[in-house]
Amino acid sequence: MAQAGQQPSEVVHAEPQGMEEEARLLTSLQEIPNFSKCWLRSAHADALSLTVQYSQRNLPGNSQRKYAQTMHVPKGFSGDHKVTPSFPLELKDVQMLSLSPSGKRTLIVRGASEGNSCSLEVWMGNRVTKELFVPKKQHGGVYNDGWFGNGAAWSPDESRLAYVAEAPAASQTPSWGGLVKSSGEGDDKDMAAPKTWTGQGEWQEDWGELNVGKRPPSLFVLDLKRWSLKPVRGLPPDSSVGQPEWTPDGLSLVCTVWFHKAHNFPTMPQRLGIVYCMNRPCSLYSVRIPFTCKNNTPSDLNPQAKCLTEALLSAASPKFAPGGDKLIFLSHDAAASSGVHHATAALKCLNWSKEGAQTAVETVVEVVDSLTSDDAFPGLYLGALPESPFLDSNTLIVTSQWRSSTAILAISLDSGNVQRISQHDTDRASWAFAATCQGAVVAVTSSARQPPNLQILTQAASNNPVWVPLAFEGSWPFDKAVEQALPNMQHDILKVKATNAPNLPVEAVFITHKDVASPRPTILMPHGGPHSCYPTSYFSGYTFLVSLGYNLVLVNFRGSTGFGENSIQSLPGNIATNDVLDCMACLQAAIETGMVDKDKVGVMGGSHGGFLTGNLVGQYPSCFKCGVLRNPVMDLGLMIHCSDIPDWCYIEAFGSKEGLRRMQVKPTLEDLKRWREVSPIGHADKVTAPLFFMLGGKDQRVPQRDAKQYLAAFKARQNAPETRVIVFPEDTHALDKPQTEFEQFLNAAWWFKRFLT
C-alpha cells in the first residue's frame, strides 16, 4: 500500500501489446523445418538411400535444432506412394557430419570439451572405430561454414580425409600470478600457490563479420590407417586455406588460398571482411600430402605448394570430374576486378593427368553480360560448387539465381551448354539442388505458399525429365493456423522498365492474398547487398505479414544478381538514385494492379535495403507512412571508419573505376562530401514517417553506431517523428538468431499495425 504523499507505482506494460494471436501464428510458422543437406547413394540394385539433414528453429533455446533421417527410395520412383523414413536422430553438439562417397564411413565432429578443440568420431557401418580428441594446441575450432569448409574431403580410397580448422595459436598466452620460489622438492605445480590468471596475447587480424576472434583457416589431414592427424605444410604464408579436394591419385590436395592482404585493393593494408564478399582475391594451389612412413624423401617432409591459376584474380571451389581428367572450379574475376562484392561467375576448367594440370585454364561457362530475352540464361550466380555436383563424368549440376527465382542447371563440361532442368512454368517456385546419384537428382523446392519440400528426378538425362514429390510417411501436419494461411498465399513477378535505362530488367516479387477484394496496406521491401536478389522461395516472415493483411513488394532493382553483368555494374556510382527509382517504379506497378492502397504503404529493409528504406522515406516522404530498418547503412562517412568492408563505401558510391582510384584508409573531404550526398542521413530533416530500428550488437559489417548517429540527428529535429530501437546484443549483421528473427517480425507487424491500419 502506498504511503501518504506517494503515488501508486505505474504499471509498465511489455511492448508490443495486443499481439498474442499474431505471436502464436509466427511461432507455428517458424517451427516448420528446413532441409539443410542431403546425401544420396546406392543402397542395392533396386533402391537409393537418401539421408536428409534438417534444421528447425528452437525458439526457447535460441538455436537451430539439427537432426537427420534416412530412407530408401526405389529407383524409378514415380511418386505414387510415400517413403518411410527412419526415426529422426538429433545431431546434438555436432559441428560437422561427413559421409564418405561409398557410404561405408562417416566422420562426426563434435564441439570442444575439457581443453580440447573438438572430438573426431570415425564410424564404420553401425559402430565407432575410433574417437580422437584434438587438443587446442593442435588446432582450434573446425570451419564448416559453407565457404572455407564444407564437410570433409575423403581421399579416393577413403583412407585419409582432409578438413579445415583454425590454425593453432602462433604464441602462448602468458600466465601471471602464482609465482613462488622453487622448493626443490619435486613438481611445484602440485604445491600450494597463489591463484594465477591468463594475460592478453597480441591482437591478431581476422576475416571480420562472423569470423571475429577466429584464427586463419588451415588444412589438416587425418590418416585412418595410422590414426595420425597432421597439418598440411608447404602452403603460402600470411594466407588462409580452405575448400580441399583430393587429386585422383590420392597423393595431393588441391585447395583455395586467400592472401590476407587483398592485392586488388593495394591501398587497403588491413584484412577485409570475407562473408558475402566474392571480390576477395584467391587462387588454387596443389600440395603433396605424404604418407607417414620411413621412406619419406626430403621433398615429402617439406612439400612446396604450386599455384595452378596465376593468371586469374579469383579461383575457388575446386572439384574433380568423376573421370579424374578435369579440375572444375569457379572464378569471380568479374567481382575481384571491378570491386563489387558479388558479380556474375565464370565456370573454369584445368585438364588433369598423373603429372597434374596440363594446360592453361579453359572457360566452360562465360560471364553473361546482358539478357537477350526473358527466358535467356542470365549467367552463373553462386558462391561455391556443391559438395558432390556431378550427374556423370561430363555433367555438372548447380543451383543458380535465374532472374527472380533460383533454378537447377545441368552444365555440359565438353560444350559448356547450360540447361535449366528444374520446372519453371508452374507456380514460379524456386529450386535448389540437394544431391545426385546414378542419374537421379534430389531437389528442394519452395514458393510463397509452399514451405520447403523434396522432389526427385529419377532420370535426369532423359529428354523428358519428370520431377515427382518425395512425401514421407508419418509427416506431422502443420498447425491449423498455418494450414489455413498457406493456401491463400499467391505471388506474381512484376516486370518493370527502369526509369532511365529501359534495356536493363527490373522485377518485383509481389506477394498477396489470393482473395483480395479491395486494395490492401502494402510493404515495399528492397533487398540488401546491393548485389543480391529476392527469390520466389518460401520465408516464414513473409507468410506471416501477408496473413495479417499486407501485400509485399520485394524489389529486385538494377544491380541485383540474376539479370546479367551489365545490370550489376550499372549500380555502382548510382546508389541512392537508380535503386531508389526502381523501388518507386515497382511500387507504382503494384499500385496499378488495383490491389494496393497507395495511402497505406510502409517500407522495410536490412543492410543496403535499410539504406534504401532511409533514402525512400527521405526522398519521397509523402509516399510512406512508416519504416522498419534492420542494421541499415545510414551514413557512409561513418561506416568507412568502422566497417569490415570499407572498400564497399568507395565502390558503391563512386563506381568501380573511380572507387578503385580513390580508395584509401584516410578519406578526403571530397570523399566525405559524396558519401553525404548518397546517405540517408542527408535526408533526415525531410522524413515524416515513424521509424523502427533493429540493430545487432555484434555487427561488424554495419556497426550499430552508424544507425545511432542517424538517430541522434533525427531526434535533434523539433517535432521529429516517433522512433523505436531494439538492439539484439548477441546478433551479427544478419540478425538471424531464432529469437531475434521472431522478435523482429512480431515487432514489425506491431509497427505496421499501428501506422498502416
Active centre residues (catalytic): 607, 699, 733
3-state secondary structure of 581: helix
Alpha-carbon Rg of the chain, whole angstroms?
Answer: 27
Asked whether the beta carbons of 118 and 166 are under 8 A apart, the reply is no
Instruction: Express the helix, strand and coil content of the chain in percent, nearest 5 each.
Output: 20, 35, 45
Asked whether the beta carbons of 590 and 554 are under 8 A apart, the reply is no
In this structure, are strands 489-497 and 467-469 parallel, antiparallel, or unpaired?
Answer: unpaired
The residue type found at 672 is L
Asked whether the beta carbons of 363 and 559 are under 8 A apart, the reply is no
Strand partners for 409: 398, 420
Report the alpha-carbon distance of residue 381 to residue 533 in Å, rounded.
10
Among residues 691, 684, 696, 681, the alpha carbon closest in space to that of 748 is found at 691
Among residues 596, 624, 638, 615, the alpha carbon closest in space to that of 721 is found at 624
The phi and psi torsions of 113 (rounded to 5 degrees) equal -165, 135
Among residues 462, 518, 513, 471, the alpha carbon closest in space to that of 489 is found at 513
First to last CA, the chain: 41
Asked whether the beta carbons of 33 and 7 are under 8 A apart, the reply is no
Residues in the chain: 757
The phi and psi torsions of 644 (rounded to 5 degrees) equal -80, 0
List the grid coordinates of 286: 596443389
Asked whether the beta carbons of 282 and 258 are under 8 A apart, the reply is yes
Report the alpha-carbon distance of residue 261 to residue 267 in Å, rounded.
10
Report the alpha-carbon distance of residue 391 to residue 460 in Å, rounded.
8
